[in-house]
Amino acid sequence: MAEMRILEAGNADYLKVDPDGYRAWVREHKPHQMVSKLMNEHEAVEKFVHDGDYLAYDCNYFQRGPSSLIREIIRQRRRRLWICGKFTYVACALLVEAGCADRIDIGFIGFGPWISRAVREGKCKIYEYSNAIMTLRLKAGAMGLPFLPVRSFGGTDGFARSGCKLIEDPYTGQPIILVPAINPDVAVIHVHQADEFGNARVFGTGIAHQECALASKRVILSTEEIVSTDEIRRDPSRTSIPHFTVDAVVHAPFGAYPGIVQGYYASDPAGVIEAMGAMFRGDFREYLNKHVHSVASHEDYLDKVVGAKKLAEIRSRETIREGYSA
Amino acid sequence: MAEMRILEAGNADYLKVDPDGYRAWVREHKPHQMVSKLMNEHEAVEKFVHDGDYLAYDCNYFQRGPSSLIREIIRQRRRRLWICGKFTYVACALLVEAGCADRIDIGFIGFGPWISRAVREGKCKIYEYSNAIMTLRLKAGAMGLPFLPVRSFGGTDGFARSGCKLIEDPYTGQPIILVPAINPDVAVIHVHQADEFGNARVFGTGIAHQECALASKRVILSTEEIVSTDEIRRDPSRTSIPHFTVDAVVHAPFGAYPGIVQGYYASDPAGVIEAMGAMFRGDFREYLNKHVHSVASHEDYLDKVVGAKKLAEIRSRETIREGYSA
Amino acid sequence: MSTPATNFNEREHVICQVARLVEDRYIYWVGGGGEPLSTALLAKRVHAPNLQYLTEDGVVGPEALVPFDPLMTMISSRANYRALQWATMNYAADIAHLGYVDYGILNTLQVDRYGNINSTVTGKYEGGEGRRFGGPGGADTIAALAWRTILMTDQQKRKFVDRVDFISSPGFLEGPGARERHGLPPNTGPWRVYTPWAMFGYDTDCQLMLQGISPFVSVDQVLSEMSFKPKMAAQLDILHVPTEEELIVLRTQIDVAGQTTDRGRWIELRDGKYMFADQ
Amino acid sequence: MSTPATNFNEREHVICQVARLVEDRYIYWVGGGGEPLSTALLAKRVHAPNLQYLTEDGVVGPEALVPFDPLMTMISSRANYRALQWATMNYAADIAHLGYVDYGILNTLQVDRYGNINSTVTGKYEGGEGRRFGGPGGADTIAALAWRTILMTDQQKRKFVDRVDFISSPGFLEGPGARERHGLPPNTGPWRVYTPWAMFGYDTDCQLMLQGISPFVSVDQVLSEMSFKPKMAAQLDILHVPTEEELIVLRTQIDVAGQTTDRGRWIELRDGKYMFADQ
């Protein structure tokens, strides 16, 4: 038998690669049949986000992200989460500062005093990747594979602190990087439209919503609109996420606030700057009190903290509809 | 340095795996800039399909396939083509019987006396894969990678007659199959709509049109409709194939005849049965004379062989439009 | 209504057998045409209205409009009508890799003692001496990745062989543990083989086992149409004949032109016994 | 019209420098915000109307509506307006793997003699002693896979270091051949570094080489803001200042609120010489 050399390997911990275990999970726990999954965010997070989970959110707190679900996770005081920290401004900072997360695979995350402090104090362990390496790891998980090859990341200092390997390609004989698959314990994803079963549509560009849904053991969708399954069937090419991957569907209008949902509403610059300011100051206490703990639910939050006037304004500031409907 | 074992390897020839060579080709020869590529099928095939090429078509002669381009390739008497024979009824039979092709990677192809004869007489060499292994090989090529892992195909007699390898997964320690990438010399793909630059829309399900376009050195699109680039930009999520992958755009209404273009026209059962009949009889001479050599062009073919009445009939028999427009 | 039919043919019989296994609560990948697709189309109309199946072209859960034009069973607006999702072949393969496909339904040219599937060549492979067929198509992916695979074929000596002439798609290969050694996911593989005459499962050694026969044949007749002696179940089921309701749907909606079912011998109820009409 | 401006700031100057390199006939992957995105937005409005660029969210060739709300440079209806294609991050990475990305445009926290990029930590990595930043984001993919990478940064000693504290994204790593040894595609890598004061290329040993300076600084000033001595080109270009037209577009359309450009010192034309206004 011929051999291939493993030329280098990162030395960091990474989520265990177990495609067989994931297949068994899918067989046992995923809802293969069409069953309604409508529930509120409290129930969804209570049921499907557990202490110690590996958590992936798609997009981020400012851009079509599951912001209301992130606030609910903090409200329910989840602990020891390991975060997929790709393409992120404040979500990781919020989750770490709120005491919910203690490990992050990076990607890119909004920085500031909080992170150096968290690392120095050992409150948070960081594993080094890049955005597209993380989405590729999710893609490997979404393909039911243990790894995928890639032609970036080699030679970086991140590589040495990752779970990646540099091997000899058995076809070309040249060195090539392998990235380990991720199958997150739970994914939270915000979409434009979903039916009660979880067949969902995302309009416009995205980061890795389909990969997150296919790769994750438990999937919570928050959605701007609930549509009928007939509407889904009217344009099957628009289905980004199929129902059988989904465990919970939460109807969350303005669920991405203070972020944008392209085609539906604009971001709230004041809300964005308020969160970024807290991050750069390195103190989220005030932000968390006002935006998370002062209210019991997203509905409550929109009503008491954000207010109808603001919602009307960001809705009207989004003037572009083209391409954001089926 | 640790080692990984190659447990088994197929012993067949396969198209050379050369992602660096493909990158260099893309840099040198692909039209990065938006330039018009409108031309007729004669010019497109003359310029971009060469003797000895590895040829991939998407879908097939009966189902949204580039049937008019396949007829043109035969008309221009290309020789020694190596065919990506996935998901195929008669296209391989036509190309081999017409003397155009002498190697096939299979997939699935419509069989009959012709193939046993061609193999026995050494007119055609066959390499054994399966449909999804072939689309995965194209996907590897479309990702710019030398290989992809897969969890099927192992243990088959096809594996031993393929370019695949069974290796020890460095993450799980378990055996896993690798498939070699394909970057075809040329791909012919039929689409619903394209602009003059090659930004194209395919509606409904497909086999691997995007993979074929991204993976192939030269790409000829035939399209039912030419649309404006403004129309493409109106709904960017519908763009299946980006212009920079495309070398030629051929306006070919009814280009899939006798096949279906879902949402646009039905198949012609008589035309389908005529081709299948020739294949099962093992004699395409009559078919080729009537459907290929008796005419000079696709336009000529529709006019003289198919006829306006038939075209009106298959158009009217396709009553479903839902989901087949932007 | 489920009145046993009194007149039907072998093909109709085997399609109804398999269709009865098909349930709303599972996800199926069915071979994109012929008997396998017919079983899903029939089940959806008779007892599994919410049935979800995939075909190779990446359609998920269509509500197909039947009948279809000849061969227009995929990449077709009627076959894929009002699906939950439209995608492509690699997507279907991803879904199967992930373990979402509970059952695969396939037909085969040849099957052996370990459930291996041949759709490539009968006779000798090398030198093109044997008779060449179309290749595995999508069956390799389904047989490798579906949790359970249901095969459909005819009860003929040349189709039930000790070792297939060519393994196009994997059964249990050489027996217990072989699939895993060749990189296939664990706890997957052949589950049933249905012919118009009989139903087979597999024993713990991964070997084909006769479990049921049709009321119009004897065990000896079945064994006489096999090139090897299968394991025998302790008790043999007698397979139920099609119901009138199933046949009406099959004949008037799904296979109006008889493209799939218009082959094989006819069976009739004569003096309280089912027997071949030509017998 | 291309009247040299008489009054502009450092940030405006460097954006205009890089924007002038951007052409219709190439495909760009630009860092999704700040100076890199501004160069593409400016070029498209001034001299490259058909410019095509990607950002990390998988947008291809948008006709962005400027200005943007704070941070709304991706996954945003204005930034992605009327694109040729909307996809996702892995698709953008595929396009880059295939060799379609002629140029990547990035900014960096720190760059070293081999063009390596640090956006992770300044100071010691271990134990969190250093100051931690956000990580490579999309820059690793761009720097690895684009044929040529253009870096933008400030002319400061702490930014031009002999060896970056952490290689977040690859330059030439340890020098000739190193990228290939680490699995990156051949003939790719760093091409230019632009600061408000200077323009650098690389010599055949893959080492940073000073090629041009701005008219308002001297070579000594530039070298005094580097922690190592770069290679020197035989002849140094004097970089052109922004044109009035470029500045009007930049100030009135692209960066109306000064989110990107409202930093750095001002330069003015005084007695026929460009000099710092505070000088």
Which residues are within 8 A (CB) of C206 and not within 5 positions of it... i.e. 6 or more apart?
C114, C115, C171, C172, C175, C176, C189, C190
Nearest CA to CA, how far is D7 from chain B (Å)? 35
Which DSSP category does C163 fall into? Answer: S
- Give the pLDDT of residue A1: 54
Q: Is it the case that residue C120 has pLDDT exceeding 70?
A: yes
- Decide if B131 and C138 are in contact by the 8 Å CB cutoff: yes
Query: What average pLDDT does the segment B119-143 reach?
Result: 97
Nearest to D60 among B27, B234, B242 (CB): B242
Query: What average pLDDT does the segment C129-136 reach?
Result: 94
> For B206-239, how does the pLDDT look when each residue is reduced to its tens digit (9 = 90+)?
999 999 999 999 999 999 999 999 999 999 999 9
Which chains border B (3 or more CB–CB pairs < 8 Å)? A, C, D
Query: What average pLDDT does the segment C18-24 reach?
Result: 97
The chain A residue lying nearest C82, using CA atoms, is A233
3-state per-residue secondary structure call for D143-198:
HHHCCEEEEECCCCCCCEECCCCCCCECCCCCCCCHHHHCCCCCCCCEEEEECCCE
- Decide if C187 and A237 are in contact by the 8 Å CB cutoff: no
All residues of chain C having their beta carbon less than 8 Å from the beta carbon of residue A145 are 97
Which DSSP category does D126 fall into? Answer: G
Q: Which of C84, C89, C90, C103 to mutate to test the interface with A (most CBs of A within 10 A)?
A: C84
- Is residue B1 very low, low, confident or very high in pLDDT (cuts 50, 70, 90)? low
Give the type of residue at D203.
Answer: D
List C residues 92-131 in contact with B (Cβ-Cβ < 8 A).
92-93, 97, 120, 125, 127-131
Q: Is it the case that residue C251 has pLDDT exceeding 60?
A: yes
List A residues 156-195 in contact with D (Cβ-Cβ < 8 A).
156-159, 166, 174-177
**Distance of alpha carbon A266 from alpha carbon B237, whole angstroms:** 20
- Give the pLDDT of residue D128: 80
- Give the pLDDT of residue A219: 98
Q: In this complex, is the C-beta atom of C82 within 8 Å of any C-beta atom belonging to chain A?
A: yes
Q: What percent of chain A has pLDDT over 70?
A: 100
Q: In this complex, is the C-beta atom of A5 within 8 Å of any C-beta atom belonging to chain B?
A: yes
- Give the pLDDT of residue D129: 85
Nearest CA to CA, how far is B144 from chain D (Å)? 5
- Give the pLDDT of residue B6: 96
Which chains border C (3 or more CB–CB pairs < 8 Å)? A, B
Do residues A69 and A250 lie in contact, with contact meaning Cβ atoms separated by under 8 Å? yes
- Give the pLDDT of residue C186: 98
**C140 phi/psi in degrees, rounded to 5:** -60, -45
Q: Which of A1, A143, A183, A246 to mutate to test the interface with C (most CBs of C within 10 A)?
A: A143
Q: Is it the case that residue C249 has pLDDT exceeding 60?
A: yes
Q: Which residues pair with D110 in a beta bridge?
A: D118
Residue D174, both tokens: 């340890």
Query: What average pLDDT does the segment D143-171 reach?
Result: 98
Q: In this complex, is the C-beta atom of A3 within 8 Å of any C-beta atom belonging to chain B?
A: yes
Question: Average pLDDT of chain C?
Answer: 96
Q: In this complex, is the C-beta atom of C80 within 8 Å of any C-beta atom belonging to chain B?
A: yes
Query: What average pLDDT does the segment C175-202 reach?
Result: 98
Do residues D99 and D144 lie in contact, with contact meaning Cβ atoms separated by under 8 Å? no
Do residues D44 and D65 lie in contact, with contact meaning Cβ atoms separated by under 8 Å? no
**Distance of alpha carbon C45 from alpha carbon C36, whole angstroms:** 15
E strand segments, B50-111: 54-57, 81-85, 101-106
Give the type of residue at C273.
Answer: K
Q: Which of A139, A145, A239, A241 to mutate to test the interface with C (most CBs of C within 10 A)?
A: A239
Q: Which residues of D209-229 are buried (b: 16+ CB within 10 A; e: fewer)?
A: bbbbbbebbeeeebbebbeee
Nearest CA to CA, how far is A114 from chain B (Å)? 34
- Give the pLDDT of residue C64: 98
Residue B102, both tokens: 């002498």
3-state per-residue secondary structure call for chain A:
CCEEEEEEECCCCCCCCCHHHHHHHHHHHCCCCCCCCECCHHHHHHHHCCCCCEEEECCECCEECCHHHHHHHHHCCCCCEEEEECCCCCHHHHHHHCCCEEEEEECCCCCCHHHHHHHHCCCCEEEECCHHHHHHHHHHHHCCCCEEEECCCCCCHHHHCCCCEEEECCCCCCEEEEEECCCCCEEEEEEEEECCCCCEECCCCCCCHHHHHHHCCEEEEEEEEECCHHHHHHCHHHCCECHHHCCEEEECCCCCCCCEECCCECCCHHHHHHHHHHHHHCCCHHHHHHHHHCCCCHHHHHHHHHCHHHHHHHHHHCCCCCCCCC
- Is residue D2 very low, low, confident or very high in pLDDT (cuts 50, 70, 90)? confident
Nearest CA to CA, how far is A43 from chain D (Å)? 29
CA distances from A248 to A39, A217, C158, D117, D245 (A): 7, 12, 51, 41, 53
Q: Is it the case that residue D1 has pLDDT exceeding 60?
A: no
Continuous segment of H or E residues that includes residue D266? strand D266-270
- Is residue B276 very low, low, confident or very high in pLDDT (cuts 50, 70, 90)? very high
> For D206-227, how does the pLDDT look when each residue is reduced to its tens digit (9 = 90+)?
999 999 999 999 999 999 999 9
Helical segments of B76-130, H only: 91-97, 113-120
Its ipTM equals 0.98
Q: Tell me which residue has tokens 């607006």.
A: C77
- Give the pLDDT of residue C278: 92
> For D41-72, how does the pLDDT look when each residue is reduced to its tens digit (9 = 90+)?
999 999 999 999 999 999 999 999 999 999 99
- Give the pLDDT of residue C1: 57
> For B177-212, how does the pLDDT look when each residue is reduced to its tens digit (9 = 90+)?
999 999 999 999 999 999 999 999 999 999 999 999
Do residues D116 and D122 lie in contact, with contact meaning Cβ atoms separated by under 8 Å? no
Instruction: Among A262-266, B137-141, B310-314, C32-36, name the one with the lowest average pLDDT.
Output: C32-36
- Decide if A176 and B146 are in contact by the 8 Å CB cutoff: yes
Q: In this complex, is the C-beta atom of B35 within 8 Å of any C-beta atom belonging to chain D?
A: no
Q: Which of C12, C15, C22 is nearest to C48 (CA)?
A: C22
- Decide if D83 and B32 are in contact by the 8 Å CB cutoff: no
> For B70-107, how does the pLDDT look when each residue is reduced to its tens digit (9 = 90+)?
999 999 999 999 999 999 999 999 999 999 999 999 99
Q: Is it the case that residue D81 has pLDDT exceeding 60?
A: yes
Q: What percent of chain C has pLDDT over 70?
A: 100
Query: What average pLDDT does the segment A33-61 reach?
Result: 98
**B83 phi/psi in degrees, rounded to 5:** -105, 140
Query: What average pLDDT does the segment D92-119 reach?
Result: 98
Pseudo-torsion of CA C78, C24, C53, C257, nearest 10°? -40
Question: How many C-beta atoms surround the C-beta of residue A1 within 10 A?
Answer: 10
Which residues are within 8 A (CB) of D272 and not within 5 positions of it... i.e. 6 or more apart?
none
Nearest CA to CA, how far is B132 from chain A (Å)? 13
**Cis, bond preceding B258 (omega within 30 deg of 0):** yes
- Is residue A73 very low, low, confident or very high in pLDDT (cuts 50, 70, 90)? very high
Q: In this complex, is the C-beta atom of A285 within 8 Å of any C-beta atom belonging to chain C?
A: no
